[in-house]
Amino acid sequence: MKKSFFFLLILTGFFACDTYRSLPDLAFNNDWETLPIAATPQIESGDPAAGWQYLISGDYIGSGVPFDMVKNKIATKKDTILNREGVNENMPFGLTAFQHANGTTVMSGNCLTCHGGFLNGEFIAGLGGFGINDFSKNNATTFKALNTLVKLKYKKDSKEREAYDIFGKINKEALAYIVTPFEGVNPAFRLEEAYIMKRNKSDLTLQENSNYKLDKRYTLASDVPPWWHFKKKNALYYNGMGRGDFTKLLMQASTQGVKDSTEARAIQQNFIDVLAYINTIEAPKYPIPVNESLIWKGEKLFNKKCSKCHGTYGEIEAYPNKLVALEEVKTDPYYARNFSTKMHLADWYNESWYGQSEPKSYVKPMDGYIAPPLDGVWATAPYFHNAAVPTVEAVLNSKKRPTYWRRGKQLDYEKMGWEYQQMTKGGNKKTYDTTLPGYGNEGHTYGDDFTEEERGAVIEYLKTL
Ligand code: HEC
Ligand code: HEC
């Protein structure tokens, strides 16, 4: 049997038995097409500078690889991107060496692994990364090898083994669940579900038994939203499911390696500063001249056709925080439906330390997508929650969306987004395949009625946001 056919068979089986639970309590009420989400109180006492330092050198992953073992291979070149000093002086920006609770130095990834990227050669913290992570590779085997190396090098009761234990155990299992069908999409929430699969709800310790079963056969992944939108948002994540206290939601990556809720509490205290830092980030300015004569026309069209969902910009800045029902926006529903029907994450989270201890946060999956702020939209290609569309021109003209495409090397300033190459088929790691479940490029046809000239004017206006 041909491999691709076999894959299709598995997929068909998977979706046939994939019945959706109905969610009476999560239904949209009166105005069911778009639901404004109200703000919740947040801790505002953080120090942004301290938050940045913690983000790039802090101990929030909890455990990691013994630094001595990897130092000579990894810490080889002066860190001229983050300009870190001390133990991180020669580290790549996506990795951090830090002190484990037992005093040894360990290394792990940091938030910028996924939330840092380059624009025209310049590093931008908070830009969803592409290219430093390729989640289409299965890295579980690398971890198995790493586990063996650590065991060979360090004695069973050594501090190094202790400081590696949780990190090694959890990653060896989790990485097998997050292999994406192609590069350029990020499986962060699947990773999260794998990290908490064996964690005790109330004290976060690692237990033998799984809380639920995850499906290895197919990985749903998403784009990475830019951090400069964060300060406008009342609910986090594409489907608005991140509610309540944001410090707890921001520290999710620490479920990779923390020992227990006591460690998590200390991290949460530092995340008061991280929250303050992320709130200071501004969108990068459009770097080349714009056609001034088109902007006022674009603005008028935008305010007429787009503002009700995406807000207004400039002097009267207002962002309505609207969740738009799947039936209205009609972009690929699978991401939202996955969370609202298979509630591993919500069930665990809401009953866990994160949901039960102060300050409380919770996960409330909704059958819709947030209409995101559009500040700096020129820099955030590809578009939609699933990264399915390479340019804003194609967001605003559904007929121009490529079915199979590969990212080019440059930004396309005219079409606003990435240069891309249209392909004739998918089925390989380099090509985005919009025919796969969860990766569709349909819906959001709000720009289809524009004339070419009107569309051009709206794009010109978007450059100024
Ligand atoms: C494995 C990659 C990865 C890592 C590591 C990671 N994130 Fe994320 N992050 C994502 C993805 C993907 C999303 C989007 C998920 C969604 O909205 O459904 C996201 C969403 C967010 C958001 C929500 C933004 C919004 O507009 O809704 C914030 C804030 C954030 N991450 C902060 C952090 C911080 C702080 C860290 C480090 C402690 C971190 N992330 C680590 C991939 C990652
Ligand atoms: C009814 C509400 C609604 C209207 C009207 C609307 N949008 Fe959207 N828009 C959304 C939602 C929801 C998303 C996110 C869809 C997704 O991620 O699947 C979105 C996504 C986008 C994106 C992609 C953003 C990103 O970073 O991925 C752009 C660009 C955009 N809209 C521009 C516009 C423009 C320009 C107009 C006016 C012609 C418009 N939208 C009208 C709801 C709306």
127 lines ligand 2 (CB under 6 A): no
pLDDT over 60 (residue 23): no
Query: pLDDT tens, 210-244?
Result: 999 988 888 999 999 999 999 999 999 999 999 99
Query: pLDDT tens, 377-412?
Result: 999 999 999 999 999 999 999 999 999 999 998 999
* Contact present, 211 and 199 (Cβ < 8 Å): yes
Give 294 Cα–ligand 2 centroid separation in angstroms: 21
Q: How far apart are CA 130 and CA 278, in angstroms?
A: 20
Angle CA(191)–CA(334)–CA(180) in degrees, nearest 5? 40
Q: How far apart are CA 128 and CA 113, in angstroms?
A: 9
Closest ligand 2 atom, residue 226 Cα = 26
Stretch 114-120: mean pLDDT: 93
User: Which tokens belong to 357?
Assistant: 């201890």
395 lines ligand 2 (CB under 6 A): yes
Q: How far apart are CA 382 and CA 416, in angstroms?
A: 10
Q: How far apart are CA 264 and CA 266, in angstroms?
A: 5
Using only C-alpha atoms, the chain has a radius of gyration, in whole angstroms, of: 22
Ligand nearest to the CA of 438: 2
Ligand nearest to the CA of 228: 1
Stretch 307-321: mean pLDDT: 94
Stretch 86-105: mean pLDDT: 97
60 lines ligand 2 (CB under 6 A): no
| pLDDT band at residue 331 using 50, 70 and 90 as cut-offs | very high
Stretch 22-35: mean pLDDT: 48
pLDDT over 50 (residue 375): yes
Q: How far apart are CA 250 and CA 268, in angstroms?
A: 9
| pLDDT band at residue 29 using 50, 70 and 90 as cut-offs | very low
Report the share of the chain in percent with pLDDT over 70.
92
Give 5 Cα–ligand 2 centroid separation in angstroms: 35
- Look-up: residue for tokens 């310049």? 122
Closest CA to 415 of 434, 392, 384: 392
| pLDDT band at residue 132 using 50, 70 and 90 as cut-offs | low
- Cα dist. 188→206, 278, 412 in Å? 20, 19, 27
User: Average model confidence (pLDDT) for the chain?
Assistant: 91
324 lines ligand 2 (CB under 6 A): yes
Q: Determine the residue of 53, 93, 114, 271 to mutate for testing ligand 1's pocket, defined as the one with the most ligand atoms within 8 A of the Cβ atom.
A: 114
| pLDDT band at residue 342 using 50, 70 and 90 as cut-offs | confident
